[in-house]
Amino acid sequence: MQEKEIGRITHYYGHIDVGIIELSDSLKVGETIHIKGHSSDFTQAVDSMQIEHANVPEAKPGDVIGIKVAQKVHPNDKVLKVIA
């Protein structure tokens, strides 16, 4: 199983469990990501994502997206795409 860095966490909204990711590569709903940082290390599927509060099926490099995260994340945590 390979992983490729596709972005970084820039913000976390704890009251709604949403992480904000600045993408350096594309990401689609249904793909699996691995969030890794100083105190974060978990894998989850991307069930949905939003740009400017609108649901989108995919995002491209340079986009800033929000996704529901399974655990707390922190600014500068790495976001890796899991490539099966």
Residue 46: predicted pLDDT: 98
Residues linked to residue 82 through DSSP beta bridges, in sequence order = 3, 32
What is the widest separation between alpha-carbon atoms in the chain?
A: 33
Burial of 45 (0-12, 13-18, 19+ CB in 10 A): exposed
Tens-place pLDDT, residues 18-40: 999 999 999 999 999 999 999 99
The count of C-alpha atoms lying within 13 angstroms of the C-alpha of 29, restricted to the half-sphere facing its C-beta, is: 12
Residue 1: predicted pLDDT: 83
| Of 49, 17, 44, nearest in space to 32 by CA | 44
Residues linked to residue 2 through DSSP beta bridges, in sequence order = 83
Mean confidence (pLDDT) of the chain: 97
Domains of the chain and any CATH numbers: 2-83 (2.40.30.10)
